[in-house]
Structure 1
Amino acid sequence: MSIWWLINTVRVAREKEAVECLAAENDWFALDRWEIHDFKFAAVGSIVAHGAAYPVRLVYPDNFPLVPAWVEPQDPEAKWSIHQYGKGGALCLELRPDNWTSRASGADVLRSAFGLLNLENPLGDGEKGMVTSAHNVGEIQKYNWGESPVFIGHECLERLLKGDVQDVHALRWAASDKVWPIYLSDSIDREGVQRPPSADLDTWRFQVPVVLVRGKAPDGLPLARSAFVSTVWESSPVDGEVDFVTVFIEDDGIEVFHLVSENAYHRKVYTLPPENGLRSGRAPSAQGKKVAIVGAGSVGSKVAEMLLRSGIDTLRIFDGDVFLPGNLERHVLDWRDVGYHKVHGLKRRLLHIVPGASILTVDENLNWQKSASTNAAHFDLITACDVIVDASGDPATSMLLGALAFENQKPFVSVEVFEGGIGALVAPSVPKRNAAYTLGREALLNWTDEKGRVVPLSAGVRVYEAISDNGEVIVADDAAISMAASHAARVVLDILDDKIDDFRWLLIGFRKGWAFDMHGHVIALDVGGPSDWNNISEDAEALKFVIEIAGELTDAIKALAK
């Protein structure tokens, strides 16, 4: 693991100067001391706002400045703001994981903390303020899983509202303990090849009768089953005491109630987005090694399964997305996982393959807004692995992961599938063997410039589509995804086995077009030798300062040991 304050003393000097100047020039911040707190570099002081003092600690994560610093109360029980991650937790500030830049400093983070406390004024005299939340996560990704949601496709909902729907079915299943989603479908939904499963898919899926009611649900509708039924109908719309679903069809949406033996439960409805596109034994040296996989989509899920089946049984998987019906054609998960976070469904599948495997999952994207301390912990989990795999499909995430891998001297493999499935890129970056990923990316762009086109094909209107040179619409299918994943997994395994002897980047053709002559055409691109692009000169005074406070930490540990 990289510890920035031991290897980047020039940045230590800059941070020390910035924070100490901030304290000298402003009466709202007083610096008490520098320290090593929980093995992390930190500044301890107080922020003053409206006459109230807030004892704070500015904490620098191990991978600073690529990962943001944060401000937290010194008191682990202190809770000052609604923009704070629990008692004693980091404040949610203007500078945070989703908009951080390495040019920002700890002093900037302190200024942001003062701005929050000064405006909200939780402990001081005078008027209290309110800071608007900047959290931006999709509706499906943030819903309360304990609500046992109802899913309905966008097209099915439109038909329901227009009155064009026929034979509506409800499928109920156990997504996890106490969570029973319901999926509503009509006859058109069930005509297609990609249709909801039948009730006999497994023993934990059940068809539930559906009763449609035109009009708004009555105000104050009682939730006792008998009272609910008598309020809406003259007699029960179903025979006996069987469970059933009631759908109230309003002008602009639906309300759904699930009636069981004695009660009616209001279910929250989530409309699925339109799906217009086509979706279609290890060497001893590798045993016990850990692999981080960022992205549990179509490529990442297959890489994870291939590595597991190949004897790599310790995986850390990161992705905040939810598995939806439109993902089925290209993913290792199936209908049992619809409505579930991809990482949790993937973990469940992997543990069905190797029950004793160690699978750690994080159901958040790395670039989401979150507690800075949580964000740093996520990156610490990644950099503690033996190989880091990027299957995110996001260029910014790829560049950040590549930089983190290089700083921590960890092998890094990025894999991406080109639009339309024309080919794929598998890009390894191994310390002391070839160029850092960021420099390799520059070499790749220079090479594509020489080919006359940076992007292999123009993107199509729909996801996974591309437009070929002759105007044909082509789609990346599961075969293309699987080939890309298998090449990436092969490179990862060879790195773990220490059997890789060629570190060129692989551009792999799956069909004729762009730079590829045919399916199977592989272009091995030399992106340069080992990089030394971040060799920072030492600052003698800062190094002395770091050694002093590190010595204080060592003395404290020795005292505790006695």
Structure 2
Amino acid sequence: MIWWAEQPRRAQSERAAISELADKHDWLQAVVWRLTGELQIAVDFELVVNDRVIPLTLDFPEFFPDVVPSVVSREKERLSGHQYGPSGELCLEYRSDNWMPEITGAMMIESAHRLLSSEQETGEPAPSDHRVLPAQRARNSKFRFLYSRAVWAGLLSVEEGHAVDAELQEHHLAGVYAAQLARIGPTEEPIWQEPNRRGYGATSLKAKVVRLPEGAAVKCRAVDELVALLEQFGLGELASDLVQEPSEIEVILFDGQSIQALMMLGQAGAKTLINYDLVFAERDGARLDPAYVNLGSAKVAIVGCGSLGSKVAVQLARVGVGKFVLVDGDILAVGNLVRNELDWRAVGMHKSQALAARVNEVNADCEVLTRTTVLGGQESGGSTATTMEYIADCDLIIDATADPAVFNLCSAIARRAKKSLCWAQVFGGGAGGIVVRLRPDIDPTPLETRRRIEAWYATQGVEWPDEPAAQPYAGGGESGVPLIADDADVTVIAAHLSRFATDLLARPEATIFPYSAYLIGLSGRWLFTAPFDVRPIDLGPTDGWSMEVQDGDVEAFKEFFADLLPKANDAS
């Protein structure tokens, strides 16, 4: 895109405005227009400030006038405190955060002159309203130390003039090493522990926390500076130990006013010092519904850790669910990556176990039990029974398999244990899906619910248009015929299923959903008239979740018990 070819009148007006400015003011000299190698316009000029001639260039960007041009030093000098980097562009009155297309290149040149003149006259940096975000300051930082008010409180618990053992957790991602204090003091009796520890994948590092007198810390940039600082405050023995440490060791200096996080690398006696950049990493206020406060004690069973179940597990971990039972006997394949929450690191791993690690990456406080049992498959009776007991012990059961045999087992567990059951199915071809929640003695039993839903489908009088395996009447999960649905399709249905689950756990007596089953359309197919067409299904009254007592059951139980324990019966 060549802006001056698309907007030649604007280009002419820019040239005229700068020429007029040069005629009007003798502080603007030697104006030369040129084309860069990328066919963009640049204007070389000189500013005369207190008899000093400053060569500058005004660069018009590709997307001008919608994007701000830049003014840079042609000699790569540090000209002002308002400059990006030691030789970067000047930070002027007109910037990306307040730019308007009406602003001209001539106005940028005037702004540069005001900035440099002001600083030359006063010898002080010009007033600034420019706000640099922490994320901007950290752009070139490869080693980052995360701290919070909790970390600060932990450091304050160390006595002045003392050095104590500590542990850091460090994680490497996208070329950056991020570390945080995990513990201060010995493992057995720590002085302080981080309440928000990192999850799966973090590396533990040996560390020392050194509490210096208030205001005593200085910026140590080399090992000898650190040694001198420690010796100054009577910690010479510690300095020697650090230098002779055979492996990497981290050092946290704290003087009550500032933190300095250091890494000592290299062999004993030949250490190199690396400074971590500090990043304040604290939760900035509540972002979840106050009703979610009790989710930490909730236990959820997710049966099926494929595309749907993997997303639901992570979404529930994000809202604070504290305990999971994850059940899936399958191994993640390359083909699953198109819509599973897991990634290449989990290929070849059992889905339930890899998903447990992913859940702990999101919420390290989660307790996760995994089972690789193939429910409804060729497993020992004991293994299946144990897995079903773990599921029955949960507050909520989620069937994310779209497998009729598994659904029957989950239904039996839910009914016998009187536990709520949620399930969902993604329809093939991007048509949409269905989400269902069932509450004991409020909604119909699971098997009756399925019968009523299928009866409701039949009354609509619209035939499913595609492959039978992908229709809402049949299971089309990942273990059967491949389901044609992309990650966005599955994510929409998973999100609705997670909302049902969260509502059940957080508001057991005051649901926000008037219906217990919803069809969610993602395209104008089958029953749906358009994308985002939602059809609630009235499931009708409950048919009772308790097992009915039949005539003669009491007598039959007595006879069975007497036959089972004849000695006890004789003794009576």
Q: Same fold (TM over 0.5)?
A: no
Of structures 1 and 2, the larger Rg is shown by 2
TM-score of the aligned structures, taking structure 1 as reference length: 0.44
TM-score of the aligned structures, taking structure 2 as reference length: 0.43
